[in-house]
Amino acid sequence: MKRVLVSGGAGFIGSHLCTRLIEEGNYVICLDNFFTGRKSNVEHLLKYKQFDLVEHDVINPFWTDVEEVYNLACPASPIHYQFDPIKTNKTAIFGTYHMLGLAKRNGAKMLQASTSEVYGDPISHPQREPDWGNVNPIGIRSCYDEGKRCAETLCMDYHRQHDVQVKIIRIFNTYGPKMLPDDGRVISNFVVQALKGDDITIYGDGNQTRSFQYVDDLIEGIMRMMKTEPDFTGPVNIGNPREFTMLQLAELVLKQTGSKSKIVFKPLPHDDPRQRRPDITLAKTKLDWEPCVPLEEGLTKVIDYFRNLFSV
């Protein structure tokens, strides 16, 4: 039984990861400050003796004995990371610094949950790991984008200077049950608006693109990345290369919900990327991984989740 720590473990992605780690027989320490995480997301795990839920903010150090660290702590949707941009930056940078210190002290492996946002408004398409990105360092999104870029730098410096085994993944748009209905992400926005009969809001002309991976596919990629050879650090793109325009997504949500909502258009937010699609060649080669759940199937599960949530 391995002792593992998941920071941000009560969040949307973190709670799914904690469940998988428990199912595989690990002892899991789940850290969360409950800014975007919810105790209800991991309530089903509290019955296990090998699961500890600890309220803690990774801006502050945390010490324990662990063999693996999964650093997921950081608000990831614009509505949340722009709420307190200084705190977002501190979480991305100081939080990663403290988790790397924990890994160094324990001789543990650490997986860093980075993001496709490090590519900014991409110059090349699809996005490949060698791309350096095109990020506005003084924009309203930079607290998250640049915070995550600095976190990758810290990971590589700890790897080179202190021989810490680091694994960096760049997560592309992910969706699934346990998303917050008010997180501002496009799938939750569209589904919630459709179920409530509100107008579906598209920002811009609807031709900007995203690719969407179901959370189970992401968790599988995370698990495989952590098992790679010691000297392989990544970064590795983990995402679904199937690309949709926002208008296509809105029409699909309307079709699958049976909603009569209307689509309305509003101005595009500042620094919103025009395109987002991963090149997953490296993930296929190094992890033998690619996504399995098509958007149509995953959307059905998300729609059912929000329907049940609103009926309670």
pLDDT in tens, 82-122: 889 999 999 999 999 999 999 999 999 999 999 999 999 88
Across 23-33, average pLDDT: 98
Q: What is the pLDDT of residue 271?
A: 58
More confident residue, 238 or 124: 238
* pLDDT, averaged across the chain: 94
Q: For residue 55, which phi and psi values (nearest 5 degrees)?
A: -80, 115
User: Which positions are annotated as active-site residues?
Assistant: 144
* Measured distance CA(71)–CA(107) in Å, rounded: 15
Question: How many Cα atoms occupy the beta-carbon half-sphere of 38 within 13 Å?
Answer: 12
Under DSSP, is residue 120 helix (H, G, I), strand (E, B) or coil?
strand
User: pLDDT at residue 312 above 60?
Assistant: no
pLDDT, tens digit (0-9, with 9 covering 90-100), for 148-170: 999 999 999 999 999 999 999 99
Average pLDDT over residues 252-270: 89
